[in-house]
Chains A and B, each alone.
Chain A
Amino acid sequence: MKFGKRLKQQIEETFPTWRDQFLCYKELKKLIKLISSALPPTKYGKAKAEFVYMLNNEINKFNVFFMEQEEDFIICHKELQQRIKTVMDKWSSNGSRTEYTDEMAEIRNDIVDFHGEMVLLENYSNINFTGLAKILKKYDKRTGGLLRLPFIQKVLKQPFFTIDLVSKLVKECGNIIDEVLFPIEEDKEETKEQKGAIMVATEPVKGIFRNTVVALLTMEEIRRVSSTKDHFSLPPLNLPHSHLIHSFQLNSPIPIL
């Protein structure tokens, strides 16, 4: 139930509008249990079709949501570029310094949040894929079926998992950020800890920073050595600055995980 628990936490932490868009992992697990225990083996074929139908519904849900978000991101990305250009043009001609700073500050806020949201969509894509893979594995295990391999091949090609565009946007956005946010010297680890704790404590509920930290920690958790490890399992996660990220939740009054 470890993945199920982690997924549930992730869902609880996510934006309200995203909450219903995740994989219904628990329900699918129950369905598998039902299929394997309550049904006579003669009806397996129909139950299997039923199960596949449910999975297809889930996939459809992911695709629809993902493509909507992707479209929003394309528009937003362009708009941010436009805003930056406008501010730059204004300032280069005859704008006041304070005006420039104010506007740039707003752009900086928005662009960082935009970057964060895109990354969270990548996370959405991945965690749902992981969930699907796990569910399929469970299905094969409990019913002796061979559903997993071929079905996953289909999933790999789905829009919600082909995230090349979003990935590209994230990288470009990251580059813009590096230019817009003037580089400051590296902070010491301790001060970083404090800052992180403050950020988590003061951020609006279900904020992006908190969400991102949750996602990282969830990933780490899911990839700890599992009991059912096989050739399809991922190796443990090696997070750089892992202790730093963990410290964010230790100092925070509101526990993340």
Chain B
Amino acid sequence: MPSSFLALTSFKDKYSTSPSSFQVSSGREVMENSAPLQESSLAPSNGTLGNSSLSPSIVTDHMCASALPHVQHSHNPAFISQSSRDLASLPPLDASFSQSTASLIRTQGNKDVSWSLDRLQMFLDLPENTPAPNQLVESSTGVLASEDHNKKTNWQEWADDLINVVDPDWSKILDNTNVLNPRVEVPKPSGDISKQQPQFHQNQLVPHGEFSSHAYPSSTAPPTKPRMRWTPELHEAFLEAVNQLGGSERATPKGILKLMNVEGLTIYHVKSHLQKYRTARYMPETSEGTSEKRITSIEEMKSIDLKTSIGITEALRLQVEVQKQLHEQLEIQRNLQLRIEEQGRYLQMMFEKQKKVEDEKGGVPSSASDDLLAPLPGSKHPPCNNGKSDSEALEQDHSRTGIGPGNAGTNEDKSSSGVSTKQKMLETESTVHDESGFSVSKRARTEK
């Protein structure tokens, strides 16, 4: 018993941070997030947005049909019906293309594919049929074309542009002081910030733009409810406010909001959270997931009968053991994945640096430089690369350069330094792999 008390008090201590330290700087986020969008100079014309906003409806309609009722605060039903009307009014499809895709649909016999085909058709035909919304499409094509022609050397910038392009600047459409940013953009600052002190991360609100409801800034769209990320500290503050106001039944969202006094928190956030809280109190299940799988009474009795044969406590122990194992394995797997991606990114950056150095040197052609440069852009190599990744190709070239013919004087230093850098990278690579349990034979296999 005493040990349990100790455990409880320690838990309480963990959560007893002062709520007054919450300063959510959503305003700052607006600046950070809208800036890149403005740089890419999108022209949000109605036609374009009407087009690009169609996909969410198609996605939700055909791809994940019953997602709507389960997600409480997002997609607007009115929006869906409106978009289906828009579908009907699309420009006529290109004859030859629709023929080939129609046959594809027939052979597939699958409704799932048809939406993507339709979507692609619309997307591809639009510039030919409607000159007005050309701007957005052109700029996206421009960004991608430049990548294809390997004009962009900084792939990170390009990636930012790419993802910016497909996320229209919603804040321009709606005059809304709340941060309603495209989903990919918003988590970026929080991701960076989370690397700093944990305190700040806990204070961070990530308002999540519901772009689906922004698509049609008409009166039928409901007031936007930006999604935010709750933390235990925030919840503690919420609880304090609720208790001060006399409990979950008596407290009102407005009162709670006022008492909590957290910048960036809206009444919608509080409302939905209060609803969840009330449900959790009076139905002491884990969440809707558990209540969903509530079995019928007959099955329940049967299950209890059988379970007593192994003892409920033991059954629970077994369950916990399996769950803990899954948690552990997931943790390991996630860390591995992070390291692998980190490694890939590092290698790619080295590539970029190497290429820049080569370019600056005036691009004196030598067999060594060519070998180094060759695998860099994926576009220069056709897809039939036998599924080799960039890093694999890098390894091969490394071995080639290592034993290549004698280089010209000026290049030799560069190449050797380049080789030694790559050597280091490969060494770190192999240590990472060895740590993660890769066998040495694998390395030999890739270097064949």
Chain A residues packing against B (C-beta within 8 Å): 15-21, 24, 26-27, 30-31, 34-36, 38-39, 43-50, 52-54, 56-57, 59-61, 63-65, 67-79, 81, 83-85, 88, 92, 105-106, 108-110, 112-117, 119-120, 122-123, 126, 129-130, 133, 140-146, 149-154, 156-159, 162-165, 167, 170, 172, 174-177, 179-182, 184, 187, 192, 194-196, 198-199, 201-209, 212-213, 215-216, 219, 223, 228-232, 234-241, 245
Q: Which of B277, B325, B437 contacts A75 (CB 8 A)?
A: B277
Given contacts A54-B59, A153-B341, contact A184 B326 (CB under 8 A): no
- Whether A150 contacts B67 by the Cβ 8 Å rule is no
Q: What is the distance, in angstroms, from B175's C-beta to the closest C-beta of chain A? A: 23
- Whether B389 contacts A232 by the Cβ 8 Å rule is yes
> Which residues of B lie under 8 Å from residue A27 when comparing CB positions?
63, 112-113, 116
Q: What is the distance, in angstroms, from B293's C-beta to the closest C-beta of chain A? A: 5
Tell me which residues from 144 to 181 in chain B have a Cβ below 8 Å from any Cβ of chain A. Answer: 144-145, 147-148, 155-156, 158-159, 162-163, 165-167
- Whether A17 contacts B8 by the Cβ 8 Å rule is no
A174–B377 CA distance with the chains assembled, in angstroms: 48
Q: What is the distance, in angstroms, from A133's C-beta to the closest C-beta of chain B? A: 7
A256–B345 CA distance with the chains assembled, in angstroms: 38
> Which residues of B lie under 8 Å from residue A67 when comparing CB positions?
208, 227-230
Q: Which of A84, A179, A219 contacts B333 (CB 8 A)?
A: A219
- Whether A231 contacts B293 by the Cβ 8 Å rule is no
Whether, in the assembled complex, B132 has its beta carbon less than 8 Å from a beta carbon of chain A, the answer is no
**Chain A minimum-CB-distance residue to B71:** A64
- Whether B71 contacts A36 by the Cβ 8 Å rule is no
Q: Mark B223-235, 1 if CB is under 8 A from A, else 0.
A: 0000111111001
Whether, in the assembled complex, B374 has its beta carbon less than 8 Å from a beta carbon of chain A, the answer is no
Q: Which of B5, B165, B280, B315 contacts A72 (CB 8 A)?
A: B280
Chain B interface extent, by class = 35 or more
Q: Which of A36, A45, A79, A92 contacts B383 (CB 8 A)?
A: A36
A20–B312 CA distance with the chains assembled, in angstroms: 32
Whether, in the assembled complex, B32 has its beta carbon less than 8 Å from a beta carbon of chain A, the answer is no
Given contacts A59-B184, A149-B344, A179-B3, contact A198 B310 (CB under 8 A): yes
> Which residues of B lie under 8 Å from residue A230 when comparing CB positions?
387-389, 391-392, 446
**Chain A minimum-CB-distance residue to B167:** A56
Lowest 6 CB-CB distances: which A-B pairs, in order?
Answer: A150-B159, A157-B191, A45-B144, A204-B295, A20-B64, A60-B183
- Whether B293 contacts A206 by the Cβ 8 Å rule is yes
> Which residues of A lie under 8 Å from residue B313 when comparing CB positions?
108, 181-182, 184
- Whether B231 contacts A74 by the Cβ 8 Å rule is yes
A208–B124 CA distance with the chains assembled, in angstroms: 45
A195–B303 CA distance with the chains assembled, in angstroms: 13
Q: Which of B117, B140, B322 contacts A45 (CB 8 A)?
A: B140
Q: What are 6 residue pairs bridging A and B, where the CB atoms are less than 8 Å apart in the complex?
A: A38-B101, A63-B187, A88-B5, A112-B319, A141-B383, A146-B155
- Whether B383 contacts A31 by the Cβ 8 Å rule is no
**Chain A minimum-CB-distance residue to B182:** A56
Whether, in the assembled complex, B306 has its beta carbon less than 8 Å from a beta carbon of chain A, the answer is yes
Q: Give the interface SS of chain B, mostly helix, strand, loop or mixed.
A: helix
Q: Which of B117, B287, B293, B392 contacts A205 (CB 8 A)?
A: B293
- Whether B295 contacts A205 by the Cβ 8 Å rule is yes
Given contacts A63-B187, A75-B277, contact A16 B292 (CB under 8 A): yes
Given contacts A49-B166, A231-B389, contact A76 B326 (CB under 8 A): no
- Whether A159 contacts B206 by the Cβ 8 Å rule is yes
- Of A18, A21, A24, A61, most buried by chain B (CB within 10 Å of CB) is A61
- Whether B322 contacts A212 by the Cβ 8 Å rule is yes
Q: Which of A20, A69, A213 contacts B67 (CB 8 A)?
A: A20
Whether, in the assembled complex, B410 has its beta carbon less than 8 Å from a beta carbon of chain A, the answer is no
- Of B299, B307, B324, B338, most buried by chain A (CB within 10 Å of CB) is B324
- Whether A117 contacts B379 by the Cβ 8 Å rule is no
A180–B338 CA distance with the chains assembled, in angstroms: 34
> Which residues of B lie under 8 Å from residue A142 when comparing CB positions?
383
Q: What is the distance, in angstroms, from B152's C-beta to the closest C-beta of chain A? A: 10
Given contacts A46-B137, A238-B437, contact A231 B316 (CB under 8 A): no
Tell me which residues from 112 to 156 in chain B have a Cβ below 8 Å from any Cβ of chain A. Answer: 112-113, 116-117, 119-120, 123-124, 137, 140-141, 144-145, 147-148, 155-156
**Chain B minimum-CB-distance residue to A222:** B333
A150–B381 CA distance with the chains assembled, in angstroms: 18
A76–B291 CA distance with the chains assembled, in angstroms: 13
Q: What is the distance, in angstroms, from B140's C-beta to the closest C-beta of chain A? A: 5
Q: Which of A18, A122, A182, A199 contacts B289 (CB 8 A)?
A: A18
